[in-house]
Amino acid sequence: MKVIIVEDEKLAAERLKTLLYTFDSSIELMACLESIEDTVNFLKHHSHPDLLLLDIHLSDGHSFEIFKQVNYRKPVIFTTAYDEYALDAFKMLSIDYILKPVTLEALAAALNKFKSMAVSFSATDLNKIEAGLQEQRFKKRFLGKVGQRLFFIEAVDVAFFQADNKIVYLADKEGNRYVVDHTMERLEEQLDPRQFFRLNRKFIVNSKAIQQVKPYFNNRLKLTVKGASQPDEMVISRERVADFRSWAEA
């Protein structure tokens, strides 16, 4: 079993190491990291562990921020001195939520839970379960407004979202537009990142609505998208081009 510990308190990190090896001396500790930044960099450039042992309060913020920057789809055991983050933790692929100080008994129970899940399903089954848990996190439907009328729009029918000053519009693939009561930042959290990509400050686009991508001046890219009108110039900022290419090929 390959494990990564993310813990910014040295004594707590050493205790976790000792408890892990006490539970199973064959565990391979890939890294012991201290911050969101270090963890994101590691996960972006190395293979992912079988299990992430993750403190919630880190020196540079709450560790939930890691999952906004990295598409991490493996199980997590959270450790924390606080109990108010349990609901947020279980929105992730959380195996358990252990309150500090971590005891061998609590850690062993969580690790045994993880091991029993791993042997109960084939790798294919586990991938399906992980995918299902991820999909549950994302919105399936939006409530859009036109005048005083309200409409339900399924996420699969969305072509793009557009911010215009403080108003956010949803456009479907037929070109219909609706006002939605969400910020662009909130939408990024609610949308499946495998399906939707934020091009720039103004647009979030559905991959299935993209018809054409072509080079644009100043090393940018320009998109043709279903449902967009001529004034809607969907240009990927130069800083986002590399991320877009990675997303498109994932």
78 or 150, which is more confident = 150
Asked if residue 87 has pLDDT above 50, the reply is no
Strands 196-198 and 203-206: antiparallel
Top-tier CATH class for 2-137: alpha beta
Residue whose structure tokens are 């001396």: 25
Residues of the chain with pLDDT > 70: what percent?
A: 86
Cβ atoms of residues 93 and 74 within 8 Å? yes
- Mean pLDDT across 105-133: 67
Cα separation, 3 vs 182, whole angstroms: 37
Q: Which fold has domain 141-249?
A: OB fold (Dihydrolipoamide Acetyltransferase, E2P) (2.40.50)
Residue position matching structure tokens 């913020």: 61
What is the rounded average pLDDT of the residues 23-38?
Answer: 94
Q: What mean pLDDT, rounded, does the chain reach?
A: 85
Indicate whether this model's pTM tops 0.75: no
- Taking residues 197-209, report their average pLDDT: 94
How do the domains of the chain map onto residue ranges? 2-137, 141-249
Q: Tell me: pLDDT of 95 over 90.
A: no
According to the model, what pLDDT value does residue 92 have?
A: 52
Q: Residue 41: pLDDT above 90? A: yes
The single-letter code of the amino acid at 112 is N
Percentage above 90 pLDDT, the chain: 54
pLDDT tens-digit map of 44-75: 999 999 999 989 888 888 888 888 888 888 88
- Report the alpha-carbon distance of residue 200 to residue 160 in Å, rounded: 12
Contacts of 24-27 with CB under 8 Å at 24 or more apart are 24/111, 26/1, 27/1, 27/2, 27/3
pLDDT surpasses 60 at 120: no
